[in-house]
Copies of this chain bind each other. A is one copy, B any other.
Amino acid sequence: MEEHKKRILLVEDDPNFGTVLKDYLMMNDYEVTHAKNGMEGFEKFKKDDFDLCILDVMMPYKDGFTLAKEIREKNTDVPIIFLTAKTMKEDVLKGYKVGADDYLNKPFDSEVLLMKIKAIIQRKATETISDSKQFEFKIGGFDLNSKLRFLKYNGENPVKLSPKENELLRLLALHENDLMPRELALTKIWRDDNYFTSRSMDVYIAKLRKYLKLDSKVEILNIHGEGFRLVVNT
């Protein structure tokens, strides 16, 4: 039923607590990336798309607030939950100022955390995503609408695309005429880079080529060992 598991970035320096929490969240059907400090947290944040960030406030090198500010600069929407020490009122207030969605005092009840996560993620889902522009691409004679997942040729023939077909074509379009590295598609779409996912991707490339045959000016070229290139000949 789920299109994809919701992804959580957990930044927590205490290795024991962090691992336990990660496992608990994973048991509850979330995909969790665990970073052990603020630096690492920001690196991982940049590399991936998350549905929620859970940040410990007290961390060496870079505290949760600083990290939150950096995250907010990149992304104004992703929900943030802070884990603060008990009774640190100032932390709570500071957190809200930085744009937190919620906070939890340690030690906290895990079920309550789960409910908060659910509530926050659902809340975000409710907010209408109306920035349609980034979902529409023109590829030669084709129009790709990657939100509604269809591909039209010359205004007619709307072909439905499967989620993977759609994502892959969208990635190619984002790199039009340029190299779209294999690895990029595998990590972004398949979230795993191994022999099988790689073969699976090749199957999808074949499918896309079939769709794109309608316009002889459009083709997907392979760059051996590197990736693919969506070219539009003029």
Q: List residues of A whose CB falls within 8 A of some B CB.
A: 1, 3, 89, 92-93, 96, 100-102, 109, 111-112, 115-116, 118-119, 122-123, 125-128, 130-131, 147-149, 162-163, 175, 178-179, 181, 183-184, 187-188, 193, 195, 198, 223-226, 229
Interchain CB contact under 8 A, A130 and B131: no
Given A122-B183, A125-B183, A126-B127: A149 and B226 interface contact (C-beta under 8 Å)? yes
Interchain CB contact under 8 A, A127 and B125: no
Copies in the complex: 2
Find A179's partner among B101, B112, B148, B162 (CB 8 Å cutoff): B148
Q: A96-B118, A149-B223 are in contact. List 7 more A-B contacts (CB 8 A).
A: A100-B119, A101-B123, A102-B102, A122-B193, A127-B127, A148-B229, A163-B224
Residues in B whose Cβ lies below 8 Å from that of A225: 3, 163
